[in-house]
Amino acid sequence: MGKIRFAILSFAHIHAWSYARVLREIPETELVAIYDDSPERLRRAGETYGVKKLYNDVEKLFQANEVDAVIIASENSKHHALALAAAEAGKHMIVEKPIATSLRDADEMVLKAEKKRVKLQVAFVMRYHDSAVKAREIILSGAIGRVIAITATNHGKYPGLWFGDPVLAGGGAIMDHTVHVADLTRWYTGDEFSRVFCRVGRNIRRELKVEDNALLMCETRGGVKVSIDCSWSRPDTYPVWGDVYTGVFGEKGYLVLDAFKSNVSLVESGSPMTYQYYGPDADRNMILDFLNVIKTDGKPRASGHDGKQALEVALAAYESSRSGKPVSLPIKE
């Protein structure tokens, strides 16, 4: 098999720029086309990465039959339509998280990909971060015994752009940050969530139409207690975007994952603190694994089903915050 030709469908999501970088760095891949419904983003992305085949109509991109796979990095609410179009065209895909903004859309995406026999992988990049992989190996080895509880944080800055639009994003910090930790919990325990209770705090940024902080208290079917502290609580001047921190309590031990701790922080006279991360390149690992899935007809490490299950936790959190009561899973939309 020669080079796998990729298109990136929208640079709306900030992660798209990193994915494009990786596609340029890996010898086996080629970024040959870009679609975006924003003329300015389309122009900028094309110029940045030297891509000449630029489209503002995704159907025309697929009709040209120039690509083998796509990375969907649009606004959350647009994942559904782009994924259906990609599957219909027979293109393998990585879909940015959350997979969709409704369970109905997620189901339709998964079923369409299965029907068309294309790979649908969700961009749960933490499953491809070396420290998170090692943590799972330790847990599954039985070194800390049966998992009793997990406490986790996913903090960050407010991303700006469309993330504050309740229609385009499908929610705020809960939708943006809960899904990562919920997915890691499922991956580590091999278990599904059974109950979610959520409290949304008073907004730090009062002008936002979506929540920017919340706390979830959850339980899995096997009885593991899970707390998820998700927020956009970091100030705009903070030197790093945020964290993915997880403490796993077992019957025989305790494990801590602090995924982005490998860094150098620097303060120079007259300048704000800067931060340089020197840890694993999870985006690169994820895309390399996706290439292997395509070549071997394998199963994605983070599947469409995984994307739906994590989304359900976030949607249950919203329902709980509205009712003030715990919500049992599965939920009905």
Per-residue confidence (pLDDT) for residue 236, from 0 to 100:
87
Hey, what are 132's tokens? 């998170």
Q: Which residues on neighbouring strands pair with residue 264, listed in sequence order?
A: 276
State the Cα–Cα distance between residues 327 and 325, nearest whole angstrom. 6
Domain residue spans in the chain?
A: 4-118, 127-279+311-328
- Residue 279 confidence (pLDDT) above 90: no
0.85 surpassed by pTM: yes
Burial of 18 (0-12, 13-18, 19+ CB in 10 A): middle
Q: What percent of the chain has pLDDT over 70?
A: 99
Band (pLDDT 50/70/90 cuts) for residue 268 is confident
Q: How far is CA 330 from CA 190, 219, 230, in A?
A: 16, 13, 21
CA–CA dist 93, 6 (Å, integer): 9
Q: Of 163, 223, 214, which is closest to residue 193 (Cα–Cα)?
A: 223
> 120-166 pLDDT, tens per residue?
999 999 999 999 999 999 999 999 999 999 999 999 999 999 999 99
Name the E strands within 63-204. 69-72, 92-95, 120-122, 147-157, 193-200
Q: What integer pLDDT is reported at residue 135 of this predicted model?
A: 97
pLDDT of residue 162: 97
Instruction: Report d(CA 48, CA 37) in Å as an integer.
Output: 17
Q: Is the pLDDT of residue 32 over 80?
A: yes
Summarize the confidence of residues 179-192 as an average pLDDT: 96
Q: Say whether pLDDT at 1 is over 80.
A: no
Q: Regarding the domain delimited by 4-118, which CATH topology (the fold level of the hierarchy) does it fall under?
A: Rossmann fold (3.40.50)
φ and ψ at 310, to 5 degrees?
Answer: -70, -40
The Cα 137–Cα 40 span in angstroms is 44
Mean pLDDT of 188-199: 98
How is residue 278 annotated by DSSP?
A: -
pLDDT band for position 87 (cuts 50, 70, 90): very high
In the predicted model, is pLDDT for residue 2 greater than 90? no
228-255 residue pLDDT tens: 999 999 988 887 777 889 999 999 999 9
Partners of 33 in the β-ladder: 7, 53
Q: Closest Cα partner for 292 from 128, 146, 131?
A: 128
- Going 74 to 107 to 97 to 312, the CA torsion angle's sign is positive
Q: Residue 220: enclosing H or E segment and its boundaries?
A: strand 213-220
**Residue 297 CA: distances (Å) to CA of 107, 119, 121, 200, 300:** 21, 8, 13, 42, 9
Inform me whether the pLDDT recorded for 262 exceeds 90. Answer: no
**Per CATH, is 127-279+311-328 categorized as 3.40.50.1220?**
no
Give one DSSP letter per residue of 221-271, joined into a string.
TT--EEEEEEEEEE-TT-SS-B--EEEEEESS-EEEEETT--EEEE--TTS
| Mean pLDDT taken over the chain | 95
pLDDT of residue 281: 94
- Confidence (pLDDT) at 264: 82
